[in-house]
Structure formats: C-alpha cells, structure tokens
Amino acid sequence: MIRKILLLLFLTSFLCFGIDHKVIVEWFENDLICLSAQTLYTPSKPLKIYLLTQTGHRLPKHVESDRYVFDVSRTSWILLEVFGKNSLGFTMSGSDPEKIDLSVFRAEPDIYVFSDLESGRTYVVVKIPDGWTFKGCKLQNVSFRKFYHAGYLYLYTTDKLKDGIDKLQVNFLLPFGVEKTFVQELFILNHAVNILRGGTEPYVIEPVAPYQHVVQRGETLWEIANRYGVRIADLEIANNLPDGNRIVAGTVLKIARVKFLESLTTLVINTQTSKLALYYNNRLVKTFPIAVGKSDATPPGVYWIMKKEIDPALYWYGEYIPPRSPINGLGTRFFQLSNPTYGIHGTTKPWEIGKRISHGCIRMFNQDIETIDAFINVGTKVIVVRSTEDFPENLKDLR
C-alpha cells in the first residue's frame, strides 16, 4: 500500500513539474506576440496561457482558436505560464521554453542597396542580427550570389534590372521558428538602384546660439528660422520634424544649421544648354531638359537639396496658393536648395521648358522631376555650371 502511494506521488510530481507543453511562437509584430502550445499528454480541458513580465501578469488580448495574442510592450522578457489538465484530472503546468527574450524579435537588420555602374553589379548588403538566419532575397526574379565580409552579408547580381518602382524582399528565420520578411521599395533608373524617394545623405549639425527655442503660441517655423538666421530646412532636419508647418506651442527646438558631408546622388545644371544631368556615384545616369533663370539669374555654384516636397503650396508675397492650383507654378514637386532663394520644381507651363524665363529657380517637366524625386536623396549635391560642353560620363571629369 505504501509503495503504491509513493509511486502515485512520484507520478504526480513528474506530471506536474515535467515538460508538459511545447510552446510555439506563431508570430511577433508591433509588440504583439502570438503563442500556441502543443500538449505532451491527453488533455481533458482547454489550455490557459498567461505571461509573467517585468510589469506583472498579463492576460491575452484575444484568443484565436488555439492561438493566444499578448501585448508585450514595456517588457524585455516573458515567463510562460501554461495550465491544463490531463485525463487523470492532474494539473499540468510545465512548458518548454519557460522564458523568452523578446530582444531577438525586436531587432532589425540593416539593409543597404547600391549599384556599381562600372561593373554592372547591384549589391544588397545585410547586417544580420544575432540569432537570425538569412533565408533568401528576391528582386525581379534575378539571381544573387553571396559572400560575407566584416560581419556583413553581401548579395550581388549582374542581371539587368527593369526601370521603375519595385520591391526588395529579404527573408529571415528567427528563433522558435518565426519567419520574418523585410520589404524595401526601390526605384531603378538605367540600372542604377536607390530606395524609393531616396534617404538622407550623411550630415553634421552645427549648433547656433542660443541653441534652443521654446515655440510660442502662433509662431511659425519661418519666423523662428529668420530670427536666428537659419533655414527652415535646418530646423526640420535637426529636430526630425516631419512637417514644419505643424509645430506645437511648448515644443523645444534645437537651433542649428545642417551641413551635408557627401553625396551619392548629384545633379548638375548647365544654364548655358538648359539641361540637367543626374549622376549616381559619379556616373551619369540620365539628362533632362529644363528652364533656367532669365539673364543668367541662376548663379553658378555648389548647393545641396535641403528638402523635397510633393504637391507643394506656393507662398507669394504672403499669399497662400494651394497645391495643384492653376496659378501655382511649382508643379508636382519642389526641391529646396541650400540657398533658400532658389529651388528646382515642376511646372504648370510645360511649353516654357528649354527657355530662359524663371526668376532663378530651375523648372522641369512634372514627369521628369517626379522621376528624379523618386531616385535622389535629401542632401543631394547640386552643381550649377555655365558651359557649352556636354556632360561627362564621369562626374570627376566635370570642369
């Protein structure tokens, strides 16, 4: 009798404290984790799953069939609490794993795309987070070769890519069998590749006294920029403002100027021939016709694109002219240059392209400036020249 009791206690202890459930991470997105569990016994009741976190216990937000979705924001780890009953009525609570580190799901890969026009190669460079496994890369069904260097995965293809907007998909396998795909939209122009609408070139921030400003009610970014002798785009970039027209009273702004250091994409404007050339990594990609300033109103020099706008509004002597208005001559895109007097923009008067007609800004066909906008980066260098020579194939040969 005593032996039977001891055996029963042993079995009960084994069943209660062994691995009773295999927990599966179905997916992780936006601080939501979806879990399911496989029972290693014959269950008599539905399972219950809870989490213990840094901020206490958490119940599932909702249950989808046998899947439990939890909000795991504000915690870096979770302890799993899985409860069920077997056919003998014993409570089963062991799980594998018992703890999950969430940082492995919150990590993101660094993905860079660039073209080497001389060799005809397109590269995808990936920094893979710890614990992740690269599974594949897809772009226009081209084939990629790969190699590793200095902790980065390099994928490259010599296949020619079709022009236009396309999507790069990079697939990874995460711990616990979670699959994750990162999608990046690209713009391809004459075999040169950049992320759609570009990124931002490297820059430094140069603080300007008094270094900070607290926005007052009714103030505009234009007024603040003029007060401290900086540009509106300086304040937008230095303070990471997505829309400088919407600033809230009480916001503390850094007062600074932005200086770009280098430029992967470059525009060269020839006011003599009324043409614009687009360069990528010093190689000529395409040329476009333009309208320039009358009487040489566009001064030669080196500028930088500080801001790109879609469907820009026009402010003319204090009057607001809405986007796409027939009397708004900016067209569908506007690039603000580092000299705020000048810009590059579309036009509502395409018949003027090729003429000397503006007050100093550069005008383009809307479809042409939309193509450039889809390809270049903020911080693109703009070189204005006055020459009778053709654009060189290599920017380094520009006189």
Distance (Å, rounded) from C-alpha 383 to C-alpha 344? 12
Candidate list 137, 213, 345, 359, residue with the active-site label = 345
Helix ranges (H only) for 21-144 are 103-106
Distances (CA, A) of 242 to 10, 309, 373: 64, 11, 17
CA nearest neighbour of 93 among 24, 35, 36, 40: 40
Query: Do residues 119 and 97 lie in contact, with contact meaning Cβ atoms separated by under 8 Å?
Result: no
Sign of the torsion formed by the C-alpha atoms of 144, 120, 371 and 154: positive
CA nearest neighbour of 328 among 318, 342, 316: 316
**β-strand pairing of 333-337 with 301-310:** antiparallel
CA nearest neighbour of 361 among 335, 380, 376, 342: 342
Distance (Å, rounded) from C-alpha 268 to C-alpha 10? 82
Distance (Å, rounded) from C-alpha 253 to C-alpha 257? 12
Q: Which residues pair with 122 in a beta bridge?
A: 115, 157
DSSP characters for 134-166? EEEEESTT---EEEEETTEEEEEE-SPPPSEEE
Establish whether 361 is a catalytic residue. Answer: yes
Q: Which residues pair with 112 in a beta bridge?
A: 125
Q: Which residues pair with 70 in a beta bridge?
A: 33
Distance (Å, rounded) from C-alpha 70 to C-alpha 33? 5
Query: Do residues 352 and 164 lie in contact, with contact meaning Cβ atoms separated by under 8 Å?
Result: no
Omega prior to 340 cis, within 30 of 0: no
Establish whether 62 is a catalytic residue. Answer: no
Q: Which residues pair with 358 in a beta bridge?
A: 293
Q: List b or e across 228-241, with b for residues whose CB sees 16 or more CB atoms inside 10 angstroms.
A: bebbbbbbbbbbeb
Q: What are the residue numbers of the active site?
A: 345, 361
